[in-house]
Each structure stands twice: as structure tokens, then as C-alpha cells.
Structure 1
């Protein structure tokens, strides 16, 4: 019922109960349409049908959690979150245990959505080192307030072995190509385009940290690596006994498992036989050794997996998690997650067990519908003495060499007359469907999907649901949806009754105490169609008001910043919010429209600088052109060519990609010695170059890493003082001076005349803006910027106070210079008196 109401007709029907024609063709057509439109969930009442999308979908973040929290299942488009919330609400309202049964062929992240993070550890571990074919049952305990207080996981049916271990590091002596390993190359492909093994590997380790057993992670990965190497162990036959061909692998496996190589070799080549009270060792044949090797690998992996579950339970179990909760009465949501029923040309024993488990689950599900009772099939497997499992158990305990043929002969003898032998708390159900065998996000195999739909009895489930009422909704919500939020005629029930009567639908509707019940889908569609017509008129009125608003603000100087937004009905709050956001985007566009597209990146950087400096520093160079690299600009540096050659060499050597800022500066040290340097800040390193030595790198062996910068400090005055604070307490203090270095001093006056034509030489704002931009892009945060007249810095761990002031008394300084400050045993940047006067006037 939710799809048509919330998503639109182009997405088909969101609840199969609302299908106009109920037959297999209509059912499959709707399922296929929704899959092709990216809608992987569809309801059958409160049952969710989920189709594996085989690609990541952005429908599981916090915004979706908030969208479904506290809502009834029919109030939002179909989603597994709705089922999880329904189970939670039922548990709280009735103080009764509930459970969610997830079965079928499914993708891991679809199941994780209803689990805690600990279960994510389990599932993601399965994704990295195992194809996900395992089952688990998890209890989540809640206190009387509905808060989670503990849980417990049981795992079972661990099927197959390994897949996608390329994320393991070389320390385990593995290369990065899974196809080079026998255990990793048994499927069609070790790579799935919709899965990121590297990201999942990181997620596993992160989850292990959260649970608290990250210290054991190296042991787990060593075991996984040992199992992979086990698959490469080959045997040759000497006489009647198997011998290992590649003994070097035995050494590797033994080191990874922390056992002696002789013990590993013995386990692979021999078996222990107990007969007549004696225990003897007997050698394997090559075939027996290969089988034993695979069984050995499976047993190791199973025990490791069980240990992971044990560690998770230790972290979340109610008895261990909080002593205060141990004796507290709690309710439980159980989550049963099992891989689905499948038929292959050759089913493994593990798949046989999975199919049997699904038959038992199907027995629970078919209690909801009048459908084929599969008890006879379950008895075929589990009946005492005569069931398949009982016969297999007898065969395994038969003396001598038991073979598959002997087991099948016994099976056929006992089952020959069985007509199905040769044929292939309050529950909430999630029925999962695999659309194809290729893991393709675009392929919908009709025959494959129809087989699953029929076996799961989904069509019959729809028929049972439609035998009652196809649609139900509380009266107040019905009124809200019917665009009649201001009904004043009495109780909501009276308003709903009036709408139903006006639409001529009374014969198909029943009125309950709190909800309206509609019997057929046709009535639902009729009401929805009328609602759509009503919405059109409401939207037209709203657009007229918005159009009038826009006409008023279009010509205003600030594009409507201070114009009052028109009033709207409460039920159109979300629409109004969307329109307001559109107005803000339009206003921003109009403001930016005069700025050329090529200049907008620089404009963004200037805005970042302005956010930090406006109102705190008198001038910061906003009005001039920002070019980042002034060291190779002839107007700023007479030796620009030498600087350019050195920067090219450094780029090739250190492989940096971008120069954030570069300029001539005047630098000071702890002894208050002023020197001219070329300061270069890249995304990787900060360089200090000596212009007197053809821009030689002053720290070629160990350049300063840009990530060492912890914050910036500038002053509020017109000086060009800048401090780069470093995490090693050896800060860089410079004056972004306009002193230029020219090899031919006769050209100084000529070039200085050119410089006077520039609007402003203040580079402080540009450094702040560009560093802020880099920090946001690289580290997703802003760099700290302090603006102080006097501040503390460190030179090789020794603190010094830094300040700036005007040079007074004595001869005028030709350029800024660092001098000792006797007042606080610090360093003061002395700014030329005439320059200070000029800069101050220019800023006005």
C-alpha cells in the first residue's frame, strides 16, 4: 500500500496487495519494474520482499533511520527500516518478544541494517574471508525504557570457505591476486564490482576496535592466511602413502599457526585409526590427503569463526555487558539471518543443510497462508531412523571404508517409495530474492526470480492479505493525506467518513475505532487519484504566492534577503522549506553571477580568508589578484628563473602536486637573526630556500611536512607577520615582506616603480585563505588561525614572545626587521615608520 502512495505510479505498486490483477504475471511484472527503477523493497502487508540490487544504494544513512523512526509501516515507502521499527514498537507497546526472520539470497549490507555494529563485525568478516553463506541468530535485549542493554549471537551453517582475501598484507606471504590461490578461485570471480574489499577490510578492523578484540586481529588474519596457503599444498604418492610436494608451504603454514612443521605434516599425511582398543597411525593416499587437507582447512576456519562470535558475545552479552542489567527484566528482538534456498547442479552437504533449514522456516511462514504443507519434505530429511540425516549418520559409523556410493545405495533402498525423494515469538519476515546469478545490477532473470517467488509462497501470501482489507490507516493521518488538515467538523473519524461518502466509496469501507479500512485496491486508487487532483490546485495556489514573492525580490538590491516569506499551511511545511532552499540557491547565484567562472575558485578562497579575518584584521589583500606562487613571478622576484628551476627539481624529487603558497619572506630564528628566504608551502612539504645560494633547500634531508602545521598566527595590524606553529615545537616565524632580490641592483628602482602600481602587497590574507582551503579539502576541517598582537611561539622547544611594532627613533628602516624585545625577552618585528603610515592610509 505504501509504494503507490509515496513513490508514484512510475515505480509500480509498493505493496503487492494493491495489484489490480492478482496473478503471477502481474506480480513478476511489478517486481521487475521496481528492480529496474532502483526500488529493491516491496511490501506484502507487513512482509518485506527484498531484491538484491548488487550495487551500493544511498538508502541506509542516518537520514533514512530518522525518516522511519516512530512511523507506522505504511507511512513511508517500503524499507527494511520500517520492519525493524515495527518489531521494536510491537515489543515496547505489548512488552512482548518479537523476531525478524531474514531468509533468501541477499546482499550483506541489506541484512546489517537491522543489526548492531557487533553483528556488522561478524558479517563483514564473512564478506572478506568467506562468501557470506552462514546463518546466525541474534537476540537483542532491551530494558523497560526500550534501550538496548545486551545481546547474544549464535552462528550456524558456515558454508564454503574463503573469498576475496586480497586485502591481507604481504607479511602473510600472500600476493594481491586471489586467482593465484586454489581456495580463492573456485567461484566465477573473486571480484564483485559492487563490493570494495579494501574498504570492507578497514571496516572489519575498525569494528574489531569497537568490540575490543583488535589486539587479536593479527592472529585471526594469520589463521586466514594459513588456510589460503593450505589450499596450495600438493601431494605425491610414494608407494601407497602420500607425501607433500611443496614442503616450504608446510613451513609457512606452521609459522602462521604457531605449530611445529612436523605436526602439520603429520596432520596432513596421516590419520589415527582406533581398532580393538589400539590406536595406530595410518598413511593417507593422495586422494585421502587432499580431502583431509580441505577438511582440515574447514575445521580451522570454523573454529576461528566461532571464536570471533565468542569475542563479540563477550562484549555484548547481557551477563557480561553490565552487572546492573543482569537481573533486569528485559524484552528481546530476535534476528534470524539465514542464506536462502537454492538448487545447483551439484549441491554441497552444507547447501543441503541450508535448504533443510529453509524448509523448516517455510513451515512457520506457511502458517500464514493456505499453501502446500512441506512437513512431508522436512520429515524426509529429519525423521528418526528413516530420514536422510539418520541414514547418513548410520553410514558414517559403518565399519570399513564408507563411500558416497554406499550411502546413496542405502538411501535409495529406504527412500525408493517416497514420492518427494527424487524431487528437488511474533515474527516479521524479510523475504530476499536473487535477481540473477551474475551479480549484475541490471539483469533481472525472470525464470530464476519466478522460481523463488513461487517457492516462497509470496503470491499466496498476497491472496490471504487481500481476503481481508487491502488498506488501513489512522483517521488523523488519512485526513492529513487528503489535504484536509484544517478539518473543523468534529472528530477525525467524522471527517474521514465525510470524504468517503463524497467519493461514493462507503460500500467498500469499514470504520474502526481508530482506523479506516478499505477492502479493494480500486477504491484506494480512486481516492489517491482524487487526492492528486486536489494537490494540483493547492500547488497552483502556492506557486502563485511564491511567484508574487519572487517578482517582489527580483528587483530588490539584496535579492529578497529581508523580504518576509509568504505564509503557508502547516501541512506544506516541507514544500515551503524546499522552496526557501531554492530561493537561497537562486540568491547565491545572483550574487555570484557577475564573477567570472574562472575567478570563482579564487573567490572561494578569499571568502574563507574573509570569514577568518574580516573585523579582526584591518587589511588582508582582498582587492588584489591572488596568484599563489610569487617566487617565480618576475614582478615579485628578480631571480624568478632560478627559483623556478629549483621548484621543478623539488617537485620531481618529492612528488608534490601543488604549490599552495610561495614567496620571498624575511625569517627570524631564536637568536633574532633576520634572513631572506624563499618560503614554499606544498600539500606535502614546507621548504625554506636560500636565494643567495641559488635557492638551495635549507633542509634537503628532512623537509618540514605540511601536516606538521597545527595552527597559524597573524597580527591585527598592517604588518606582514606570520607564524606557522609546528607539532615538533620548532615554529616558522616570517614577515611576508615585499623586499625583492635582484641580481642587477641598477634595476631595483625601475622594478620598484612597477611594484608601486600594484594595489596591495599584503599576502597574509592569501596565506590564511589558501591554507584554510587546503585543510578543508585534505583533512575535512578548518585550520586554527589566531589573531593576536603578541603571541608565543617555540624555537627548538624554547618559547619566545613575538610581537610587531613601528620603528621609532634613530634612522628610518628601509625594510621590516626582527629585533630583540627587551620588555619580555622576546622578538619584535619592527615595521618602517613611513611604510606604516603609507599602509595605514591605503587601508582607509
Structure 2
């Protein structure tokens, strides 16, 4: 029993089952009054282990590597992160995995002096830092001539994008050339953030797309170029945002920064004037200077070889999108059918002018839909609601195509191929900054795709941290107590692996002419009702289905799934684009226009009622759905990651308020559980993360070998490695001799 006295620092079990810091105020008999860090008083037993326990010495400061924690439980992990966060230590290791807690304030941690300090140092030699992970990538790439990758994961607002930028800055700095290509790689960030990031409730600079940046180095460690891939831009944000959220930054930057004479040409006013910007009730964003950001974006575009004409064409299309959002429609009845007319407004006229099409063509493409039947073309009027949906679909398509084009242009500028005949081989470091797991009040098709991507990355983490490590111990005949961990493979099987998986059912229904969101849901319920990872709606009146993800159950509303998955513009809008005099607009849709032309040339209209359904179905199957495109991109990404030596940064958000110094214990404990950090610590603590073949180990540490004890010229390499360890390493449990390798613990 340990008796407590006034002023002792203690841990108190809180209502949510984790320990919190407190101080003893008063001791009376076998009771003591403690005050926790929220100011709340508690009367508890002061016996050690009965509600209150003394802090051990490291508890006051916390530990830099949680493998060294005495309390290997959730409470101990949380306590350590909270202590370090309180002292401004936002980085903590779990062996070679970096945990980064968003400080929500500027810290003096990323200066040129810090770059110099961490360059060339062993991981763990200095306090935890994102620069240490970046240098570990760089060092291992150069030493092992092996491609590296860093997976930066976490919830929205946890700091993934900032960590990616800091990694890039460090790699550009240590490359040592300060060349034009390095500057171009860094200047891609403000462009991609402007067009792909937005203010959300959770994050003022939320990436609404995923990206993988691969940086290529020559054999001298100098950056030679880079390549970027993008994943699943959130197109719906162009037309609709949740309350108190903003559209993409670029719209506000354009309206605040564009010179007045150019705004006049584009007939642009204030953000409050546009439906695509004002419906959410949020125009400004604290801490962002939209006018200043505009100047930065213009400078970055110039560095990335966008000419003045390119920039003006971009701004024209952005202005066209804003004007299109203000086009409205009047409902009417024509030939006993619902129809609509464009409401007269200068926004409609300006939209046509900026898109470089005539007003009659724009009017027709927004208010009518042309269908090709077995015998003839039929023109059907659209209701006012359908016309608004068509308008929004066109705006979203223009923006998303522009985003893809920006990526292509940037890649042309920053990607440098080896000279012809050159034997120079490149190694690379890849940085993955991808959307965090999402679970909102209403979850749609985008959230399903995003969460599927997170399941894939979680499985990659599980495979490398748990599965492969334990398989190697078994293969090398190392004595080892297996760690039980949460494997999310069953959820991946449900989503994309097993026959009739969720994504394949969505695709199948998307290709079927009479498929609806309701028939899709019915099929999913029928096929997967007995799957433990699938949640069936409670009744026929409930329109939802659920998936048990690694980070918790998410309920999805299937309304709109098929339309979003088909991701196709009407032939009328494609025809409008083809008539446009805007070179950029036609360029954005060039692939679609070519595919459309080929389809029309190859199509054979057979005038038999029985064959019409089959023909339409076969033509639809030739189209690529959004989910299949996304799956192909993810498969390509996972193949790229699988041939790299991986590093991991787990980003945590300490609170929902985006406030400095505030640590929400419930939020953080959930993130700890979801990310598998406790299991990670257990396997790193009891495992042997450092491993070398006997030859590698002997080559590196032969100087420590007493040849009298073991002569490598006559004795087996295995015996000499063992002799070195016996002579140098004090604890016998700190190394193991395997069949082909030697395994070492981290101390």
C-alpha cells in the first residue's frame, strides 16, 4: 500500500475508463480529496490501485517512445500523449511509427536549423519529429537503393496535409541543389490546395481529394523530378456545401484577388452574390487571406509553366461555374408533360459567353434531354428540378475535369525522364496524403469510396506491422509470443473481394437500364444479410445499409448512388461542349468526346423490340463507372506501395474545436483504438524490429569482433554475429539468432 499526502501527483480513473492527471488536495483517514485537471473535486480511497495511483517519475514528463511505457494499456497511452501535448511535444514514437498530434498553432519546429539538426541522424537519436521520418526515408533509400514510401493517415483535421508538406520541404532541403525542379515541386502545393481544399466543420483547410507524390532521386541523392496522382475529388462540393462550410478556396481567392478590370470583364461581384457560395451561410474563413492567397496561386502557376492565357482560360471557366449556379428555371406544362424554361437573367447570358456557346444551345442542353430509341431520336423536356440537376452536373463535370487537367499540366512540368541511353537509375520516395475515414449524419457514395480506401490502407498497415512481422519470426524459427490484433480483411472482402461484393453490385445495377437505388439496396440486403460485417436496414421503410468498418459502423444512404457511380453527362451537354469555341473546355472533355464519337460510329441500331434492352445494356457496360475507376487507381496505388519500404505517420486531432492546448480524451481514445496503436506498441515492444542478414551484420559491425573469440575466416558467419552480440549487448533477450538473419530489439 502506498499512502498519499497533500500535493502528490496522482492518476484517477475517469468516467470514460481512462486515467487523468490530478493532485491531492486533502487527506482524511483512508479518504483523500483530489482535484483533476478540469478543476473537478473527487473523494476517493487513497490506497494505491483503488481508484487513485501514484504517478511514476516518467509520468510527469511522458516518454518520447511509447514502447518504453510502463503502463501498456489505453490509459497509459492516452496519459502519455496528453502530458506531451500539454508541454508542446506534439510528436511521439511507437518504435519507427510516428504519432503526430495537431497543435492547432504555429510552433518553431521547422526551421532550417531543425532540418540541419535531423539530417543524417539515427531515428530515435533526437526527440521525435516529422523530419526524423523524412530523413529515415532518405537515408534508407540511399543506403539500400530501395524505393521508400510514407503513409500519412488520420481523420480530417488531424494534420495530414501539413505533415506531407513538411516532408517535402525537408527532402527538397537535404537534396542540396535548391534547383528549379525542387521549387516547382513545392509550388505545386498552393495550386492543389486552392483547387482541392476547402473549409469544413472539422478543418479549415480540408483536402477534399487524395494524392500520392512520388519524388525521384539520382544516385547522388539529388531530386530529379516527381510525379503526382490524385484520387476522388469531392465534386458535389462545387454545388452544395454543408452549413458553415465553404466551397473550394479558389472561388473566394478569385473574387478577392482578381484585379477589378478583369472582374468587370467576367462580370464578377462578391462571394455573397453566388448560390454556389452563399447557400451554406459561410463566406469567410478565419486565418485565411483570400486576396493574398490569390497572389501566391498566380505566382505558383507561373512557376509551373502555366501561361497568362492558361490562367485566363481557367478563370473564365471558374466564373462560368459561378454564373451557372445562379441560373434558375420556371416550371411549366407542355403536351401534358412537365417542362421548364430558363429564367431570364444576366447570369445565363454571361454563362453562355464564358463557355463560348450560343444561348439557344445552352438553353436546350439544360432544359431538354435527347434519347436514341430503336427508330429515332426523341427529345424530352425536363422539369425545373431535373434542369437544376443537369446544370449542377455540368458545373461539377467542368470543375473536376479542370482539376484533372491541372494535375496533368503540373506532372508535365515536374516529371523528368532519364536521358536517352542513360544508365542512371532513379530511386523514389512516395508520400501518401489521403482523405481520412468519414462518418457523418448522412453518408453517401463518396463516403463509401473514401472509407474503402481507408480500409485498404489499414490492411496495408496491419499487413506490414503485424502479419509480415509475425510470419518472418515463424519463418526464421524465432521464439515469439503471437500478438492478437484486429484484422479488417473481412470488411474488405465484403466491399470488394468476394463474389457479388458491395462495389460490384453497385456497378452491376449502374449498368442495368432499369436499375434504381432501391433495387440496388434490395440486392445488397439479399446477398449480404448474413454477413457479420454488413448491417441490414431494420424495415423496408428504412433506406440505409451499414458497414462495420475498422473505425466503427457507418450507415449509408443509398439515394443517388447509381447516378454518382455512372458519372456521365447527357449527350446534349457533350454536344454543347463540342460546339464551344473554348479550346480549354473542349480539351477538358477531349477523352469523353472521342469516346462518344467512337461509340456513335460503332453503334448498330437494330429495330427489334426484343433486342433493344440487350443492346442498351451492352452499350452501358462499355462505360467505366466512377467506382471501377477508383478501384483501379487504388489497386495501382497499393501495387506501388507494396514494392516500397514503408514508413508510417499516424496523425491525431486533439479536439473538434481546432483549439490549441485543448485535449479531448474521449476523441483521442477513440482514435487510438481505431488506429490499432495499442497492438502496434505491443508488437514493437516485444518484437525485434532491427534485422540484418548475417553477412550484412558482420560487414557493418566486424570492428567489434574479437577474432580470438571467433575468426570470420574460419568460423560460420552466424557464430561470429552471435559473438558480437554477446560481447556488446548486455541483455540476452535483446537479440535472437534466426535461420538466415539476426534480430535486434530497440533500446
TM-score band, normalised by shorter chain: 0.5 to 0.7
Q: Which residue of 2 aligns with 1:220?
A: 314
Cα distance in 1 between the residues matched to 2:276 and 2:190? 19
User: What's the secondary structure of 2:380's corresponding residue?
Assistant: strand
1:153 aligns with 2:228: yes
Q: Which residue of 2 aligns with 1:597?
A: none
- The answer to whether the 8 Å contact 1:91/1:97 transfers is yes
Spell out, residue by residue over 1:606-628, the C-alpha distance to the aligned partner (whole angstroms, 9 max, x if none): xxxxxxxxxxxxxxxxxxxxxxx
Q: Which runs of 5+ in 1 are unaligned?
A: 1-7, 473-495, 525-844
Q: Which residue of 2 aligns with 1:272?
A: 370
Q: Which residue of 1 aligns with 2:520?
A: 407
Cα distance in 2 between the residues matched to 1:228 and 1:251? 13
Number of aligned residues: 482
Q: Which runs of 5+ in 2 are unaligned?
A: 1-57, 169-181, 199-206, 239-246, 467-483, 536-547, 554-642, 692-723
Q: CA deviation at 1:246?
A: 5.0
Q: CA deviation at 1:313?
A: 0.8
Cα distance in 2 between the residues matched to 1:122 and 1:333? 17
TM-score norm. by structure 2 comes to 0.59
Spell out, residue by residue over 1:370-391, the C-alpha distance to the aligned partner (whole angstroms, 9 max, x if none): 5222121112111365122211
- The answer to whether the 8 Å contact 2:491/2:533 transfers is yes
Q: CA deviation at 1:96?
A: 1.0
Q: CA deviation at 1:471?
A: 11
Cα distance in 1 between the residues matched to 2:444 and 2:189? 22
Alignment of 1:335-354 (within 5 A): 335-354=431-450
Structure 1 residues 419 and 434: alpha-carbon distance in aligned structure 2, compared to 1, 3 A threshold: same
1:202 aligns with 2:268: no
1:377 aligns with 2:491: yes
- The answer to whether the 8 Å contact 1:141/1:150 transfers is yes
Q: CA deviation at 1:17?
A: 1.5
Q: CA deviation at 1:186?
A: 6.3
Cα distance in 2 between the residues matched to 1:50 and 1:267? 50
- The answer to whether the 8 Å contact 2:211/2:230 transfers is yes
Q: Which residue of 2 aligns with 1:166?
A: 252
Q: CA deviation at 1:421?
A: 1.2
- The answer to whether the 8 Å contact 2:91/2:101 transfers is yes
Rg larger for: 1
Structure 1 residues 317 and 498: alpha-carbon distance in aligned structure 2, compared to 1, 3 A threshold: closer
Q: Which residue of 1 aligns with 2:587?
A: none
- The answer to whether the 8 Å contact 1:128/1:197 transfers is no
User: What's the secondary structure of 1:386's corresponding residue?
Assistant: coil
User: What's the secondary structure of 1:318's corresponding residue?
Assistant: coil
User: What's the secondary structure of 2:507's corresponding residue?
Assistant: helix
Q: Which residue of 1 aligns with 2:165?
A: 112
Q: CA deviation at 1:71?
A: 1.6
- The answer to whether the 8 Å contact 1:40/1:51 transfers is yes
- The answer to whether the 8 Å contact 2:452/2:492 transfers is yes
Spell out, residue by residue over 1:720-767, the C-alpha distance to the aligned partner (whole angstroms, 9 max, x if none): xxxxxxxxxxxxxxxxxxxxxxxxxxxxxxxxxxxxxxxxxxxxxxxx
Q: Which residue of 1 aligns with 2:341?
A: 243
- The answer to whether the 8 Å contact 2:152/2:432 transfers is yes
Structure 1 residues 284 and 443: alpha-carbon distance in aligned structure 2, compared to 1, 3 A threshold: farther
Q: CA deviation at 1:185?
A: 4.9
Spell out, residue by residue over 1:364-413, the C-alpha distance to the aligned partner (whole angstroms, 9 max, x if none): 1001125222121112111365122211122222224x443332222222
Alignment of 1:40-439 (within 5 A): 40-105=90-155, 106-107=158-159, 108-115=161-168, 117-129=183-195, 130-131=197-198, 132-159=207-234, 160-161=237-238, 162-164=247-249, 165-168=251-254, 169=258, 171=263, 172-177=266-271, 180-185=273-278, 189-215=282-308, 216-239=310-333, 240-245=338-343, 247-276=345-374, 278-319=376-417, 323=419, 328-367=424-463, 368-369=465-466, 370-383=484-497, 386-400=500-514, 402-422=515-535, 423=548, 424=553, 425=643, 426-439=645-658
TM-score norm. by structure 1 comes to 0.52
Cα distance in 2 between the residues matched to 1:326 and 1:420? 52
- The answer to whether the 8 Å contact 2:191/2:300 transfers is no
Q: Which residue of 2 aligns with 1:449?
A: 668
- The answer to whether the 8 Å contact 2:105/2:660 transfers is yes
Spell out, residue by residue over 1:64-85, the C-alpha distance to the aligned partner (whole angstroms, 9 max, x if none): 2222221222122222221111
1:38 to 88, 99, 104: 88
User: What's the secondary structure of 1:281's corresponding residue?
Assistant: strand
Structure 1 residues 93 and 385: alpha-carbon distance in aligned structure 2, compared to 1, 3 A threshold: same
